[in-house]
C-alpha cells in the first residue's frame, strides 16, 4: 500500500508546489493527470524517496520514506522518469538493466535471471547487446521500464511514458503496461493522454496547482469539464455524447450502445 498523508512540499526557497495531498493506492492502475506544473512529477518523486516531504508523510508498505534510502525504496517503487533516455549511461542494454540488481548486491547468476526476466516483460528479449542510444523511442521507454523492473518493485510510477512517441511506439508501451498490470503491479501512470486514461486506468487523480481536485472513477472523471485543466476529452467520448449514449471505454462498446443491443 502506498499512503500519502497531508503532503506539503516546497523546493528550496520557493512556494509550496504540493499543498496537503492525501492519497493511497494498492495494486491497481491509477492515472495521475493535470496541467504542466501542477506538481505531478514532484509528487511522484516522493514515492521512491527521491524527495522527502516538507510536511506530512509518505508511507510505503508501512514504512516512512524518511527512514529509508532511495536504494531501499527502489525495491518497492520503481520510478521511470520523464524523458528516460537522458538516464542511460551504459554501453549495452544488458548492462543498463543489470545496473540496479548489481547495486543491490545480487550474484552474477541472479543478475542474469533478473535482466532476462525484465527484458522479456517489456518485449525486449534479444536486445542485450544493443547500445541503449541506438534504440527507437518506444524501445527506449520500455528499456527504462526494464531498468526499474529488474529490482522487482511492487509499484511502478511511469512519468509520461508515451509523451513524444509515435502511434506504433505508443502501442508497444501500452501493451507493456497491460502486461505489468496482469502481473499484479500497482501502477501510477502520469499522462496527458486522455485516450490512455480511458484505455488503462481504473481510477483517476487530478492535480491542479499542487492540490488534489479529484480522485475517483474514470467514468465520473470524464464528466468534469476538462478544458479548464488543459485536458482533452477523448474523441470516443465526444462521439458517445453525440449519439446520446452513456460512458463507453471502446469503439466496440459504443457500437453496441448505438445499435441498442440488437433490438
Ligand X SMILES: Nc1ncnc2c1ncn2[C@@H]1O[C@H](COP(=O)(O)OP(=O)(O)O)[C@@H](O)[C@H]1O
Residue with smaller CB distance to Mg ion, 65 or 191: 191
Decide if residue 140 touches ligand X (CB under 6 A).
Answer: no
Give the nearest residue (CB) to Mg ion: 41
Decide if residue 150 touches Mg ion (CB under 5 A).
Answer: no
Binding partner of residue 191 among ligand X, Mg ion, none, CB cut-off 5 to 8 Å per kind: none
DSSP 8-class letter at 244: T
Decide if residue 17 touches ligand X (CB under 6 A).
Answer: yes
Residue with smaller CB distance to ligand X, 96 or 193: 193
Which residue from 11, 27, 171, 250 is in contact with ligand X, where contact means CB under 6 A? 11
Neighbours of 116 (CB within 10 A): 15
- Shortest Å distance, C-beta 254 to ligand X: 31
d(CA 225, CA 92): 46
Binding residues for Mg ion restricted to 92-121, rule: CB under 5 A:
none
3-state helix, strand, coil in the chain (%, to 5): 40, 20, 35
- Shortest Å distance, C-beta 160 to Mg ion: 6
Instruction: Please check whether residue 240 is in contact with residue 257, taking contact to mean a CB–CB distance below 8 angstroms.
Output: yes
- Shortest Å distance, C-beta 6 to ligand X: 18
User: CB-based burial of residue 90 (10 Å sphere; 0-12 exposed, 13-18 middle, 19+ buried)?
Assistant: middle
Q: Give CB contacts under 8 A, 24+ apart, made by 168-172.
A: 168/138, 169/136, 169/137, 169/138, 169/139, 169/141, 170/138, 172/123, 172/138, 172/139, 172/142
Decide if residue 42 touches ligand X (CB under 6 A).
Answer: yes
| Residue span 36-75 as binding mask against Mg ion, x where in contact by CB under 5 A, dash where not | ----xx----------------------------------
Neighbours of 145 (CB within 10 A): 25
Instruction: Please check whether residue 22 is in contact with residue 6, taking contact to mean a CB–CB distance below 8 angstroms.
Output: yes
Binding partner of residue 34 among Mg ion, ligand X, none, CB cut-off 5 to 8 Å per kind: ligand X
Decide if residue 84 touches ligand X (CB under 6 A).
Answer: no
CA torsion 145-128-173-87 (nearest 10°) is 40
Instruction: Candidates 21-29, 34-42, 99-107, 109-117: pick the segment binding ligand X (CB under 6 A).
Output: 34-42
Across the strands, what pairs with 187?
29, 156
Decide if residue 162 touches Mg ion (CB under 5 A).
Answer: no
Where along the sequence are the contacts to ligand X (CB under 6 A)? 11, 14, 17, 34, 36-42
Where along the sequence are the contacts to Mg ion (CB under 5 A)? 40-41
Amino acid at each position: 500500500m502506498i499512503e500519502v498523508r497531508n503532503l506539503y512540499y516546497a523546493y528550496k526557497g520557493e512556494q509550496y508546489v504540493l499543498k496537503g495531498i492525501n492519497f493511497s493506492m494498492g495494486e491497481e492502475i491509477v492515472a495521475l493527470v493535470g496541467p504542466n506544473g501542477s506538481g505531478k512529477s514532484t509528487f511522484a518523486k516522493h514515492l521512491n524517496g527521491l524527495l522527502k516531504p516538507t510536511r506530512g508523510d509518505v508511507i510505503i508498505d508501512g514504512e516512512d520514506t524518511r527512514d529509508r534510502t532511495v536504494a531501499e525504496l527502489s525495491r518497492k517503487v520503481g520510478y521511470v522518469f520523464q524523458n528516460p533516455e537522458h538516464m542511460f549511461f551504459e554501453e549495452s542494454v544488458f548492462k543498463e538493466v543489470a545496473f540496479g540488481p548489481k547495486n543491490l548486491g545480487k550474484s552474477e547468476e541472479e543478475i542474469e535471471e533478473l535482466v532476462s526476466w525484465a527484458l522479456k516483460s517489456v518485449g525486449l528479449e534479444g536486445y542485450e547487446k544493443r547500445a541503449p542510444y541506438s534504440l527507437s523511442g518506444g524501445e527506449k521507454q520500455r528499456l527504462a521500464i526494464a531498468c526499474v523492473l529488474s529490482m522487482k518493485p511492487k509499484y511502478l510510477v511511469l512519468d509520461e511514458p508515451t509523451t513524444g512517441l509515435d502511434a506504433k511506439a505508443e502501442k508497444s508501451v501500452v501493451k507493456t503496461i497491460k502486461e505489468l498490470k496482469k502481473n499484479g503491479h500497482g501502477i501510477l501512470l502520469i499522462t496527458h493522454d486522455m485516450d490512455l486514461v480511458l484505455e488503462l486506468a481504473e481510477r483517476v487523480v487530478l492535480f491542479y496547482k499542487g492540490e488534489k481536485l479529484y480522485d475517483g472513477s474514470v467514468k465520473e472523471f470524464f464528466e468534469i469539464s476538462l478544458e479548464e485543466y488543459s485536458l482533452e476529452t477523448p474523441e470516443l467520448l465526444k462521439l458517445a455524447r453525440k449519439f446520446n449514449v452513456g460512458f463507453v471505454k471502446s469503439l466496440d462498446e459504443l457500437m453496441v450502445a448505438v445499435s441498442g443491443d440488437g433490438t
